[in-house]
Structure 1
Amino acid sequence: MCRDHDDELEPLPSSISRRGVIGGAIALAGAGLAAVGQPAQAAGSRASANGPGGRAPVPPPVVIENGTVLDPLSGRVIEDAVVVLAGGRVVAVGNRSQTRKAVAQANGRVIDVEGRWVLPGLVDVHVHENAVADAHAALVRGATTVRSGTSDFYQDIGLRALKPWAPGVVPRMKASGTFVTPDLGNTILGDPALAPLAGGVRTPEALRYLTSVNLDRGVDWVKTRVNERAGVPEQDPLVQVYDYEQVRAIVTEARKRGVGVMCHSYSEKAIDDAVRAGIKTLEHGVFVGERTLERMARQGTHFTPTMSAIGGMRDSTNPILKQRGEEFFPVLQAAVRRAAELGVTVVAGTDSFGLDVDPIGGEVRLLHEAGLSALDAIRAATTSAARLLGLGSSVGRLARGYASDAIVVDESPLDNIAVLEQPHLVIAGGAVVTS
């Protein structure tokens, strides 16, 4: 039980918890791996994994030709382009004469995309994936990199470890582990070190402790909340659960190890508390105020509006959720539009759960409909999202040295952004993704 006095909670020895917890997470996340299966291309990998001590498989080279390549960073379009992927990286991008030597050296599988458009793999910065099937469902819809918005029992850490060993099966993962929330529920069973929090997570002491447990498990982000959930009819998303001082305790602990905090939020006062406390990304953020948006622009706080999730409530058969969706969505659209006007970086996240996956391309479309230009909406799921995740030099572009992640769509997303919702082809880590 969490104690109310100032004595520090003592975690269980790492020799007991870390190895067992991470092993369990990998086992949970990997459930169903055989059912999803390896893409055919991975079978020809140039290095094989032979258990501990082996090397992760590297898919053979791929040459994408006869496409139109879009670089989200510059907006440059290359017609009749060739993209050469080898060793998990982009080796060359350009016209046929510029890439002729790289094509010859790669001697790889040639994919003629017949004039379709080629973009970097998309980035979804807010998902909830607890198993391989969940992660694969996001991947086949174009999300080659994702950030977890928490998992039940550290499965996101298992998925992160699995990615290089299962090319084309799961996306690149940034993990956030256990939700820093007032009541952990059954999640408390996911790690012996969480047992002292059976009484709740509300005091600064308990908040620092849970944050440190997550950090000890190796999370890339810490996820917390300042409001109840919108997608649960029994909860009121405008009720505040953590205030400035509580969020500040989380942020301060996370910053000790250079980790950012993402924060679930809805009400204006709670959002302002979270932003003032120093969170890195505001999640949902429907009723964010003007002064808070101005502060976000100054501080570099990113905005993940999760429009797919909020808008999706409009189709709910539950009257409470349907009413919330109808009320919240136009407010969120206006918030996104104003955020962009003020210089806040907007990034794309679907808030997808399990196998109920909204395509990241749909989120890009909704951002465009809210007021972002087509190119800026694409950047929200490529270059802007990659920079947020610390991957700006390796993800979000098809440029030499970047990760060999790509999607192929049927026509120009600059003219018809909805085309991103149904990729014709997805390549992740150099492996062709199959459904």
Structure 2
Amino acid sequence: MKYVIRIVPTLLLLCAASWANSQTTVIRNIHLITGSENRVIRDAQVVVQGRIIQQIGKTGDPIPSGATVIDGQGYYLMPGLIDCHTHIDNLAAAQRALHSGVTTYRTAGVSAFQDVALGELSRTGKIAGPDVIAAGTFVTPQLGETILGDLRYSELIGGVQTDEELRKIVRINIERGAKVIKTRGTERAGLPETDPRKQVYTEHQLRVIVEEAALKGIPVMVHAHGDEGARAAVLAGARSIEHGTFLSDETLQLMKERGTFLVLTYITLEDLTKPGGDYSNPTLELRGRYMMPIGEKVFRKALSLGVKIATGADNDYAPHSTSRIALECEHYVRMGMTPFQAIQSATTVAADLLMVATTTGRIQSGLEADMILLPGNPLEDIRVLQDVLMVVSNGQIALLRIPFGKEQK
């Protein structure tokens, strides 16, 4: 017997999503964008078994007995979005990210390993998602309040500068469950008193971090707006440069040669300029207006060179935040990407960066069922990413806003 879902528009709470591993779900009457090809598969049907995509076929194909059937109403199904740079540290923020279409994210530093816990909840099915690549705590010269994140950090209260201090904090992060190490190449853009171009850690210090992390197979992401700090990070073996606002053509070419990813977080530069935004500071507003065209120039050059660009929104998904991957993709298209390239930056390229391409980032049999439903074709209008109608994360229906109508009783 077949069961057809008819649910009035609602947001399904993370903890309420409880699809059993044996649950079979069929999403029919959809137009499919797999993420691998720049085309739409019309009148498609996707069969999900537990967490995994079991089969991709055509609407009208046989439906497994007892399956839950969702009518996609002719809308567009594509892979879930990936945010490669967040600071999510609580359940509510994770839910907001999920409802925006993000089914996987990488953190860029939290205060006390909350990201590790969130990742474990998602991995074990306690929450629908998103999946988390946790960075743990930031490897930075002064830990500040992060000193409270682990009792062993008390030994680093004087700073994190020497080789042994750097190795120690990397080891603690990995022991606590971090799957990536986040460190600093330059100062921040989001503080009025700092210059984002100023280098922080040297190439030697960054190499110590990279080599210590590599002992456990863990990659390193490096915050670097300025060119000198970014180049040092690339030479040291960083997997990705975060921000990269002031990168020179020479550093971008080096990134291309070494396969280093760029996570531009352009939407954060725009956010600096918005009164009432995440920053809302007159000095930072001026800084953002100055940095935006420079960041755009770097993006265009990186694109022309073939540097791998992945999406990141660089925010904590607070209730008032508007920085989202959908808006980052809109900027990418405005700055020269095709819609398909922007989609790949948020799916297949991002999955490659996070080293999860064998499990997610595409709609393909055998991969995790991480998918979003959109009201229009994002290959024609990237802005439809801002209107997510359904989110499937690890096979669980985490958000369902259709059908919009109410059935007559």
The TM-score, its normalising length taken from structure 1, stands at 0.85
Which of these residues, 308, 329, 348, is aligned with residue 383 of structure 1?
Answer: 348
Residue 286 of structure 2 aligns with an amino acid whose one-letter code is Q
Change (3 A) 1:289 1:208: same
* Equivalence for 1:362: 327
**Structure 1: 5+ residue stretches without partners:** 1-34, 47-57
Q: Does the 8 Å CA contact 1:125/1:146 hold for their aligned counterparts? A: yes
Write out per-residue CA displacement over residues 245-266 of structure 1, whole angstroms, 9 at most, x where no aligned residue. Answer: 1111111111112111101111
Comparing 334-343 and 174-183, the one that deviates more? 334-343
Q: Does the 8 Å CA contact 1:282/1:302 hold for their aligned counterparts? A: yes
Aligned residue for 1:365, secondary structure, equals helix
Matched ranges for 1:34-433 at <5 A: 38-39=15-16, 41-42=17-18, 45-46=19-20, 58=21, 60-96=23-59, 100-101=61-62, 103-105=63-65, 107-166=66-125, 169-316=128-275, 317-355=280-318, 356=321, 358-433=323-398
Change (3 A) 1:403 1:209: same
Write out per-residue CA displacement over residues 341-377 of structure 1, whole angstroms, 9 at most, x where no aligned residue. Answer: 1111000010112423622211111112121111111
Matched ranges for 1:18-29 at <5 A: none
Residue 345 of structure 2 aligns with an amino acid whose one-letter code is A
Measured in 1, the distance between the counterparts of 2:215 and 2:14 equals 40
Aligned residue for 2:74, secondary structure, equals coil
Measured in 2, the distance between the counterparts of 1:422 and 1:96 equals 24
Aligned residue for 1:353, secondary structure, equals coil
Residue 412 of structure 1 aligns with an amino acid whose one-letter code is N
Q: Does the 8 Å CA contact 1:168/1:433 hold for their aligned counterparts? A: no
Deviation at 1:104, TM superposition (A): 2.1
Q: Does the 8 Å CA contact 1:168/1:427 hold for their aligned counterparts? A: no
Deviation at 1:403, TM superposition (A): 0.5
Measured in 2, the distance between the counterparts of 1:36 and 1:200 equals 41
Q: Does the 8 Å CA contact 2:223/2:242 hold for their aligned counterparts? A: yes
Deviation at 1:303, TM superposition (A): 0.3
Measured in 2, the distance between the counterparts of 1:238 and 1:359 equals 25
Residue 198 of structure 1 aligns with an amino acid whose one-letter code is I
Measured in 2, the distance between the counterparts of 1:139 and 1:37 equals 9
Measured in 2, the distance between the counterparts of 1:411 and 1:37 equals 26
The TM-score, its normalising length taken from structure 2, stands at 0.90
Measured in 1, the distance between the counterparts of 2:93 and 2:153 equals 25
Q: Does the 8 Å CA contact 1:59/1:431 hold for their aligned counterparts? A: no
Residue 235 of structure 2 aligns with an amino acid whose one-letter code is R
Measured in 2, the distance between the counterparts of 1:36 and 1:433 equals 7
**Structure 2: 5+ residue stretches without partners:** 1-11, 401-409
Measured in 1, the distance between the counterparts of 2:289 and 2:229 equals 22
* Equivalence for 2:6: none
Aligned residue for 2:362, secondary structure, equals coil
Write out per-residue CA displacement over residues 128-186 of structure 1, whole angstroms, 9 at most, x where no aligned residue. Answer: 11111111111100000000111110111101111034465430000111100010012
Measured in 2, the distance between the counterparts of 1:126 and 1:365 equals 17
Root mean square deviation, CA, Å: 1.7
Write out per-residue CA displacement over residues 84-131 of structure 1, whole angstroms, 9 at most, x where no aligned residue. Answer: 11111001112135xx24x225x3221112111100111111111111
Residue 87 of structure 1 aligns with an amino acid whose one-letter code is G
* Equivalence for 1:17: none
Comparing 356-365 and 205-214, the one that deviates more? 356-365
Measured in 2, the distance between the counterparts of 1:384 and 1:37 equals 27
Aligned residue for 2:310, secondary structure, equals coil
Measured in 1, the distance between the counterparts of 2:334 and 2:287 equals 20
Change (3 A) 1:380 1:59: farther
Change (3 A) 1:141 1:168: farther
What is the aligned-residue identity percentage?
A: 35
Deviation at 1:310, TM superposition (A): 1.4
* Equivalence for 2:9: none
Write out per-residue CA displacement over residues 357-411 of structure 1, whole angstroms, 9 at most, x where no aligned residue. Answer: 6222111111121211111110011111111111112101111011111100010
Number of matched pairs: 383
Measured in 1, the distance between the counterparts of 2:81 and 2:387 equals 12
Q: Does the 8 Å CA contact 1:221/1:261 hold for their aligned counterparts? A: yes
* Structure (1 or 2) with the greater helix fraction: 1
Measured in 1, the distance between the counterparts of 2:14 and 2:215 equals 40
Q: Does the 8 Å CA contact 1:307/1:363 hold for their aligned counterparts? A: yes
Residue 262 of structure 1 aligns with an amino acid whose one-letter code is M
Measured in 2, the distance between the counterparts of 1:365 and 1:398 equals 22
